[in-house]
Structure 1
Amino acid sequence: MPKIKAEKKSRVHNEVAKQGIMFNKDYGQHILKNPMVITSMIEKSALRPTDTVLEIGPGTGNMTVRLLENVKKVVACEIDNRLVAELQKRVQGTHLQSKLQIEIGDVLKKELPFFNVCVANVPYQISSPLVFKLLLHRPFFRCAVLMFQREFAQRLVAKPGDKLYCRLSVNTQLLARVDMLMKVGKNNFRPPPKVESSVVRIEPRNPPPPIPYTEWDGLTRIAFTRKNKTLGSAFKQTSVLATLDKNFKLHCSLHNKDIPADFNIKEKIEEILVKAESAEKRARTMDLDDFMTLLHAFNSEGIHFS
């Protein structure tokens, strides 16, 4: 039984098995082996000799070595100690060694170091939290060229009305410009993943829109809970009304405002939606401006989402 469990958790590729490396499925380890794809990703990053590059999940260092040849410094974040050893071994005794800084551990739990550009073949299970960790990081970076599962990449660039348009799309596009760069087939990796991949370029909006992101995130969370339903329907949910009622009372308390004796959160929400001409709108067809207008309408009436 233990043997089956071990085989399930790890895939062994013949070449790397000779080196004694087993790729861990729990970490989403699929090493990018095609040098053409690596070259293309580096070219799209428009790197400068003075840059500090952040690489997440460097694996055995195929991308890392190429990055080191082009920039001042690479900070590589790796969770797997075995791959850290491989990476160190690869640059040891070369002129590249002094330019490489390795951060060991879970990148989602660590504070990100300073960097100008991020280039990475991202472990797919951390895609969404990583995107927002990067976009909320300060100081701003210039751009990120990232490999994702194809459907995730398509969600990042989806427009209102598209089948894949979702909260991820609108939240990302509020904070950044996102462009699809290229498709990458599964045979470019070892071991091959079960899905196709795509590379995107993310450029943070600097300065960012003058909107509190936690407020925006709270609004879109409610709106996209049922993206095909009208907003009037989405905001009638008991749990939503209870949260907004609590937030309203807290807001009044913090600003020494009296709560009207006849205050009814459901009626207030309906009134704001009608006034903003949004009651019949559906999240799947709303663009950034629609959400900005709606958030302003709510906030100006003391209704908050965080």
Structure 2
Amino acid sequence: MKHIPRKRFGQHFLADDGIIDAIVRAIAPQPGQAMVEIGPGLAAMTQPLVERLGRLTVIELDRDLAARLRSHPQLEVIESDVLKVDFTALAAQGLRRLRVVGNLPYNISTPILFHLLAHVDAVGDQHFMLQKEVVDRMVAQPSTADYGRLSVMLQWRYEMEDVLFVPPESFDPPPRVDSAVVRMVPRISPVALDAKRLEEIVQVAFSQRRKLLRHTLGRWLEDKRYPGDFDVQRRAEEVPVLEYLSLAQALS
């Protein structure tokens, strides 16, 4: 029976064979690699992946789709909300880092990215289909409109690249937005710092992004020791990632 996309799960199924082939080529799966696909849906990308890998673990919340996927002999199906999945434990089972891929539900894509950030040490790389606007924010550089909290937090731990544009007509049903595929590779030697402190700093800095930092972050820093050369006469979007990282280190 035909599966009816469920709005509450943010389901938009990839249906363009050319786009699917381009994504799989960008991922470049190799036999025997440990890979996890988030939200396999109707298995449009799942099948070409598992053909190259031999085995594939998939995470699917929709119980009807999960039941279909269990009939595939080469799939290990985890029926769960991805935000409850322990990727570090999954990697430990195979004693190797995971390659994580997926067409992420656009309504919870940012929470998924931050959930995976907490498990970054267990990940070899990530390839995700996301709303183009989100990808633009992820890879944005300072002094641009897209640069913000997501840019800083993810660029701290990942090298990222926008690898493929995907138009709405590539999906069934078509979303109302453009999409893109992003490649995320964990940095080999990330700056060591307190992640919660960095998130706190960035949250405060971008809370009123049109104001100078002396009106937002400056007041927050009054009772804390921080580098005297940190210029609060700038807006949050003008501060490079490395300066936020140095500030978080100093305050840790």
The two structures have a TM-score, normalised by structure 1, of 0.75
Q: Which residue of 78, 81, 97 maps to 1:106? A: 81
Aligned to 1:10: none
Counterparts in 2 of 1:1-306, with a 5 A limit? 19-89=1-71, 91=72, 97=73, 99-112=74-87, 113-114=90-91, 116-137=98-119, 139-235=121-217, 241=220, 266=222, 268=223, 272=226, 275-299=228-252
User: Residues 194 and 249 of structure 2 are in contact (CA less than 8 Å); yes or no, is this contact kept in structure 1?
Assistant: no
Bigger drift between 188-197 and 131-140 goes to 131-140
Q: Segments of 4+ in structure 1 off by > 4 A?
A: none
Q: CA deviation at 1:119?
A: 1.6
Aligned residues: 245
Q: CA deviation at 1:86?
A: 2.5
User: Residues 276 and 294 of structure 1 are in contact (CA less than 8 Å); yes or no, is this contact kept in structure 2?
Assistant: no
User: Residues 278 and 294 of structure 1 are in contact (CA less than 8 Å); yes or no, is this contact kept in structure 2?
Assistant: no
Q: Which runs of 5+ in 2 are unaligned?
A: 92-96
User: Residues 194 and 248 of structure 2 are in contact (CA less than 8 Å); yes or no, is this contact kept in structure 1?
Assistant: no
Q: Secondary structure at the match of 2:52?
A: coil
User: Residues 145 and 202 of structure 1 are in contact (CA less than 8 Å); yes or no, is this contact kept in structure 2?
Assistant: yes
Task: Find the aligned partners of 1:22 and 1:36 in 2 and give their Cα distance.
Answer: 23
* Percent of paired sites with the same residue: 30
| Post-superposition CA distance 1:54-81 (Å, at most 9, x none) | 1011001111111110114211000001
Higher alpha-carbon Rg: 1
Task: Find the aligned partners of 1:27 and 1:192 in 2 and give their Cα distance.
Answer: 15
Bigger drift between 190-199 and 208-217 goes to 208-217
Q: Kindly report the root-mean-square deviation, in angstroms, between the aligned alpha carbons of the 2 structures.
A: 1.9
User: Residues 137 and 147 of structure 2 are in contact (CA less than 8 Å); yes or no, is this contact kept in structure 1?
Assistant: yes
Q: CA deviation at 1:206?
A: 2.5
Task: Find the aligned partners of 1:129 and 1:163 in 2 and give their Cα distance.
Answer: 21
Task: Find the aligned partners of 1:173 and 1:179 in 2 and give their Cα distance.
Answer: 11
Task: Find the aligned partners of 1:52 and 1:277 in 2 and give their Cα distance.
Answer: 43
User: Residues 158 and 165 of structure 1 are in contact (CA less than 8 Å); yes or no, is this contact kept in structure 2?
Assistant: yes
User: Residues 32 and 190 of structure 1 are in contact (CA less than 8 Å); yes or no, is this contact kept in structure 2?
Assistant: yes
Task: Find the aligned partners of 2:143 and 2:107 in 1 and give their Cα distance.
Answer: 26
| Post-superposition CA distance 1:65-120 (Å, at most 9, x none) | 1111011421100000111123234x3xxxxx1x3100001010222222521121
